[in-house]
Amino acid sequence: MGTLPWLVPMSVSCLSDAPIGTRPAVSPSLVVFSATLLLLGCGKEDPRFFYERKPIPGLPYQGFRQDIPNERRGNGVFSKGVFTPEGRYLVTMGSGIHVWDAATGALLRTLPASLDGNDPIIADGTHHRVLAHRGDVAPNLPEASGYWIWDLRDGSRRGPIPEGSWPANRTSPVGITPRGEAVVLRMGRIEAWGLDGSGPRISLAAPPGRRFCMLYYQVSNDKQCAELSRSGRWLALIDQDTTDHTAAPWAWLADLERGTLRRIILPDSVRTRGGMSGFAFSPDEQTLALQVTDGMWIGYPVADSVLAGRFVRGEHQRNLSLLPVTYTADGRRIVAMGDQLTIATYDAESGALVGRVKPPFEDHEGGLRVSTDGSRAIVYRFVADILVVIDGATGTHQGYVCPYFCNRLHNPVDVPFAVSPDGRRVATGGRLGAALWDTDADTLIAPLMDPGRRPLKPR
């Protein structure tokens, strides 16, 4: 957007610098106008700062990358994607579900499957399974209902895991456990189904008058309102009061091995009015980190009813809440997201800040994905249209990944992306090309080519 011509030449005096008795009266109708002039005229920034974004200094690309020819621009467009936890597959959602080799970028299979709205892709490479609806029949037919358990290798399916009326009783997929069970939220209950679709081994209901959350909220990160531990034993999640929708949600810990449910209680001094909606388990699954109103609570005991841990207050001037995204593999650090895409690393023992990366003022919208081992946090910044690489252990900026096009003021479309478990590669699926990239060197590993789609137009 260009500079507004009537603002730049105008000379604005700083009203705040004048003696109180000499300041002119300002009518209420001019409050916003006057505030804008004060910001432009009294600040040290060039007024064009509010209308024009300067390119990122030192980045060799502004627009299309000239080091990659047209034939290396992948046409494998997708709207969401994940690497499976062991790193074998990249699973993406577009026209059907696509299964890629995570090392080479080769397309292995396309499944006639679909997902609801913002439901996460739940896929596992050890058991070669993904949970999704059928996409080859009309959605109003009985055989389309429920989540099917698809085999990533041959496209066969088992099930389905049925669901009730939408949205109150819909099924939400949560995760696949190492023991080979699909954990879902169904009909207001927590259930663990065998991957053969034979039925639930366990079913836990919410207390009377409560209902467990539905994983149907659009998020800019991999977190929803339920978090499955890596071993598959523990599930942390929130609920809601079915009669009073203004009441604060409660948080729960479900032991899926023993079939028990325990409410998470924090000290009265810790505000949880908005609910403890984000969770992260430590690698040894002994403690839990939780998002609260003014920061986060770290060190909550998973298997012990005696309250322990500490409160860490957020520092953002607009919103103090901190979302714990993941622990690092050694359990020493926690990567957390604050307001406006501020990414920080905290010491898990003391809660002390280790490092923080803040975006420029004008570029605080986008998305975050963090590797399973916590070694890399990858942030997509919308205005710059670029991926920022952050070291999870130190909370410091490491570099950028320019996914075919970046660093130029234009009208961008969000770039969907997924981060590998070790953080060393990222998959992107923007309209200008899809590919696997090296996060350390900002180099193209392989384009994601879909033979069922037309090649992209030359740039």
Mean pLDDT in residue range 300-307: 90
CA dist., res. 257 & res. 74, Å (int): 44
The terminus-to-terminus CA distance of the chain in angstroms comes to 23
Exposed, middle or buried, 268 (CB in 10 Å: 0-12/13-18/19+)? Answer: exposed
Helices assigned H by DSSP within 276-423: none
Mean pLDDT in residue range 310-337: 93
Of 31 and 456, the structure prediction assigns the larger pLDDT to 456
| Closest C-alpha to 123, from 132, 111, 113 | 132
Of 411 and 136, the structure prediction assigns the larger pLDDT to 136
Least confident window among 74-78, 213-217, 239-243: 213-217
Q: Are 86 and 127 in contact (CB under 8 A)?
A: no
Percentage above 90 pLDDT, the chain: 67
The pLDDT of residue 53: 64
Helix (H) or strand (E) holding 37: helix 31-42
The pLDDT of residue 41: 45
User: Residues 6 or more apart from 298 whose CB is under 8 A from it?
Assistant: 287, 289, 290, 309, 310, 312, 324, 334, 346, 348, 351
CA dist., res. 189 & res. 96, Å (int): 28
Mean pLDDT in residue range 172-187: 94
Say which CATH architecture domain 57-77+314-459 belongs to.
Beta Barrel (2.40)
The pLDDT of residue 316: 80
Least confident window among 268-282, 325-339, 396-410: 268-282
pLDDT reading at 19 higher than 80: no
CB atoms within 10 A of CB 326: 24
pLDDT reading at 217 higher than 80: no
Preceding amide of 207 cis, omega within 30: no
Q: Are 364 and 378 in contact (CB under 8 A)?
A: no
CA dist., res. 194 & res. 314, Å (int): 41
Helix (H, G, I), strand (E, B) or coil at 144: helix
CA dist., res. 299 & res. 317, Å (int): 25
Q: Are 450 and 76 in contact (CB under 8 A)?
A: yes
Q: Are 377 and 335 in contact (CB under 8 A)?
A: yes
Q: pLDDT tens digits for 412-430?
A: 888 999 999 999 999 999 8
Q: Are 214 and 189 in contact (CB under 8 A)?
A: no
Q: Are 446 and 438 in contact (CB under 8 A)?
A: no
CB atoms within 10 A of CB 321: 20
Q: Are 254 and 156 in contact (CB under 8 A)?
A: no
Q: pLDDT tens digits for 342-389?
A: 999 999 999 999 999 999 888 889 999 999 999 999 999 999 999 999
For the ranges 54-68, 133-147, 281-295, the maximum mean pLDDT occurs at 281-295
Of 317 and 82, the structure prediction assigns the larger pLDDT to 82
Mean pLDDT in residue range 179-198: 94
Percentage above 70 pLDDT, the chain: 87
The residue to which tokens 């020493």 are assigned: 332
Mean pLDDT in residue range 224-237: 95
Domain with CATH 2.40.10.480 in the chain: 57-77+314-459
Exposed, middle or buried, 424 (CB in 10 Å: 0-12/13-18/19+)? Answer: middle
What integer best gives the mean pLDDT of the chain?
A: 87
The pLDDT of residue 247: 86
Q: pLDDT tens digits for 55-104?
A: 898 899 999 999 999 999 999 999 999 999 999 999 999 999 999 999 99
The residue to which tokens 């909220």 are assigned: 217
Q: Are 341 and 365 in contact (CB under 8 A)?
A: yes
**Radius of gyration from C-alpha coordinates of the chain:** 24
